[in-house]
Chains A and B, each alone.
Chain A
Amino acid sequence: MPLLEVKNLHVEIGGKKILNGLDLTVDKGQVHAIMGPNGSGKSTLSYVLAGKADYEITEGEVLFNGENIADMEPDERAAKGLFLAFQYPIEIPGVATMTFLRTAVNAQRKARGEGELSTPEFMKQVREAAGELGISQEMLRRAVNVGFSGGEKKRNEILQMAMLQPRLAVLDETDSGLDIDALKIVSDGVNRLRSPERSFIVITHYQRLLDYIVPDVVHVLSKGRIVRSGGKELALELEEKGYAQYVGEAA
């Protein structure tokens, strides 16, 4: 059974049609890249998967591990192992990063019927994961994303992913706003989490990220549909030729 199956998905927001019969199948352990021009529906796909309100599914279905998740709350989806790394991580004034991580980890464990993580065990895991991402203890004490640079915010997303150990992670333009060093730190963080049991959907404009996070499958999204799929060489072709042909084709 595939980990994620999106079948003929049609999505509207405020009466405007964004996704237009999207099909996507992601198997366990795979990394899929979704590329496409601005406005093709990449971020909408990520929000629909995570369960953001206001995105209305008018047709089709989304099966996660064989289960239809269309009516599930965002927190239920998260507890089932779905993770979205936000393109624009939100600032949470007054909530320390450490508190936030702990609340999230324990909420998910509780939803899955597991006991809370002990303080020493939690601290050990955070220290390890933060260390690998170059996130200081001082940053962990600060309010979530408040006063963080663009790169720090993205690293913080990967830290959350490392702590929550999802089955499917959707990375929404995680490379945007990163310089080459930060890109490498973030990519290394993602690669460390790759496993036969965990899948990734990497949404990006640029081929550059895919030099670091090497995908199994590359899709081209245009006008709300996947218009072409191929191996990692497709990304190189897109880099060379641009999206012009797809923008025309799907119209």
Chain B
Amino acid sequence: MDFGFAPVARPGMTSWDMAELKLIKTAAEEGLAEAFAGARATLPGAAAVKSLRDNAFRIFEIKGLPHRRIEEWKYTDLRALMRDAKPLAAPPDAAAKVKAKAAGALLSAVGARRVVIVDGAFVPELSDLAALEKGLTIVSLAEALVIADKALIDRLSRKALFSDDPAFALNTAMMSDGVVIRVAEGAQIARPIHLAFITTSVKPVSVFTRSLVTVGKGASLSVIESHESADGVDNQANHAIDVSVADDGRLDHVKIACEGDRALHVASLLADIGATAHLNTFTFTSAGAVTRNQIAMRLEGAQTHVGIRGATLLKGRQHADNTLVVDHAVGHCESRELFKSVLDGESRSVFQGKIIVEPHAQKTDAKMATHALLLSEDAEADAKPELEIFADDVVCGHGATAGALDDDLLFYLRARGIPLKEAEALMVEAFVGEAVEAVENESVREALMELARRWLKARA
């Protein structure tokens, strides 16, 4: 169940390169090495954390930036996409904090408890931490790394589906801050928590955050992430969220990427889920130059249900990649995946979905579907379902479609007086809506559809 690969010589290496007796690094890889060397002493964390960072960076150094020969990154060649490494974002100053006040305004109707992370740093004074519900704790990751209790170190160093992934390893090495959310056993937290990430810099920076969410036995929680930054700035963001849902627990998670038009955004969601638990996640992407959402879930207890869904709306030369791994480690669980993308211009969406059914995971019920709507001749959708089934009594299915809007359907709408662009918009909304309707919270659903409508309006 290794998510990694064996190191090999890079394509493009010449014998002259070999003569130097070391792997040639790209400018971005060298920049990252320098950044790590420079920040190593000041990045937060006790000694145990420092050694964790060193180990993680070693993994990254061996592997380098992922490229097209790496199966998991086949369609999103970070080595080609990252020309250089942007300097690490400085901790937010007063001006940055003022800018960050409006972060995540789109979700204001949700009434969530807002937690704000500015330029990679958790900012308590912008966050709503008053009157936390009984059983709920929210602390900064940086603080937790300094305290570095055994549970935290065990969690950060455990062998997981992303352990060998270079982007995730880089996140472990460089994580500056984030939030640690814990819901105690049995606590039902009705009010959603909104993690509002914002990068305020007008000069390109890189940001690395890690957040941990722990839902105790029988507890429930809803978390919404929003990510935003300014247009015209080629920031590099690498965010990771590590989720653990204990037996009988429930987590609803929504991630909305509203990054600026030149941003590179890499996000990892790692989840371990116990028995008779629920985890639903929804990923919405309509902004940013290059977005990579990678999700890896391990189902460790029976009778658990996970739903992994998403919608992607792209135009111009935008690129978005949703790569999922669901590992059914035990039987009698259900997983549902549905990703929809709407592609205009020369944009490209990628879906890679791997379902692993381990040898004893009988009665697994796993279904995966991805559908792309191509609004232009030059748009591209890549879909790669992978089923690795080692048990013999399972129901696993996958389906992928890509196509244009149906002409007969459009004619029907137009024959009723609806102009072409409006008819297309109606169809696109319906198409996206089918995925969005699985989101539990009505105000969040409405916010997502509003984002889709804005995208359509900008197109018309």
Give chain A's interface residues, CB within 8 Å of chain B: 50-53, 73-75, 77-79, 83-84, 86, 89-90, 92-95, 99-100, 103-104, 107-108, 111, 143, 160, 164
Indicate if the CB atoms of A104 and B418 lie closer than 8 Å. yes
B412 adjacent to chain A (CB < 8 Å)? yes
Give chain B's interface residues, CB within 8 Å of chain A: 407-409, 411-420, 422-423, 426-427, 429-431, 433-434
Indicate if the CB atoms of B433 and A94 lie closer than 8 Å. yes
* Residues of chain B lying within 8 A (CB to CB) of residue A53: 407, 411
* Residues of chain A lying within 8 A (CB to CB) of residue B414: 51, 73-75, 78
- Known interface pairs A53-B407, A92-B409; A74-B430 also in contact (CB < 8 Å): no
Among B407, B411, B427, B429, the one with the most A-chain Cβ atoms within 10 Å of its Cβ is B411
Instruction: Give, as a whole number of angstroms, the nearest-CB distance from A76 to chain B.
Output: 8
- Known interface pairs A95-B430, A103-B426, A107-B422; A90-B409 also in contact (CB < 8 Å): yes
Q: How many A-B residue pairs lie within 8 Å, measured between CB atoms?
A: 76
Give B433's nearest chain A residue, CB to CB: A94
* Residues of chain B lying within 8 A (CB to CB) of residue A74: 411, 414-415
Instruction: Give, as a whole number of angstroms, the nearest-CB distance from B157 to chain A.
Output: 45
Give Cα A73–Cα B410 distance, bound, in whole angstroms.
12
Instruction: Give, as a whole number of angstroms, the nearest-CB distance from A159 to chain B.
Output: 12
Give Cα A93–Cα B34 distance, bound, in whole angstroms.
53
Instruction: Give, as a whole number of angstroms, the nearest-CB distance from A192 to chain B.
Output: 20
Indicate if the CB atoms of B417 and A108 lie closer than 8 Å. yes
Give Cα A90–Cα B414 distance, bound, in whole angstroms.
12
* Residues of chain B lying within 8 A (CB to CB) of residue A108: 416-417
Indicate if the CB atoms of A51 and B415 lie closer than 8 Å. yes
Residue in contact with A75 in the complex, picked from B419, B427, B434, CB distance below 8 Å: B419
Instruction: Give, as a whole number of angstroms, the nearest-CB distance from B341 to chain A.
Output: 15
Give Cα A84–Cα B411 distance, bound, in whole angstroms.
11
- Known interface pairs A78-B414, A90-B408; A107-B434 also in contact (CB < 8 Å): no
- Known interface pairs A53-B407, A53-B411, A74-B411; A164-B416 also in contact (CB < 8 Å): yes
Indicate if the CB atoms of B415 and A50 lie closer than 8 Å. yes
Give Cα A78–Cα B419 distance, bound, in whole angstroms.
10
* Residues of chain B lying within 8 A (CB to CB) of residue A78: 414-417
Give Cα A108–Cα B415 distance, bound, in whole angstroms.
11
18 A-B pairs with CB atoms under 8 Å apart are A52-B415, A53-B411, A74-B411, A74-B415, A78-B417, A84-B415, A86-B415, A89-B412, A90-B409, A90-B412, A92-B409, A92-B412, A92-B427, A93-B434, A94-B434, A99-B426, A104-B418, A143-B430
Give A84's nearest chain B residue, CB to CB: B415
5 nearest interchain CB pairs?
Answer: A94-B430, A78-B417, A108-B417, A104-B416, A74-B414
Give B407's nearest chain A residue, CB to CB: A53
Instruction: Give, as a whole number of angstroms, the nearest-CB distance from B413 to chain A.
Output: 7
Indicate if the CB atoms of A94 and B431 lie closer than 8 Å. yes
Give Cα A77–Cα B415 distance, bound, in whole angstroms.
8
* Residues of chain A lying within 8 A (CB to CB) of residue B419: 73, 75, 107, 111
Give Cα A183–Cα B43 distance, bound, in whole angstroms.
77
Indicate if the CB atoms of A52 and B411 lie closer than 8 Å. yes
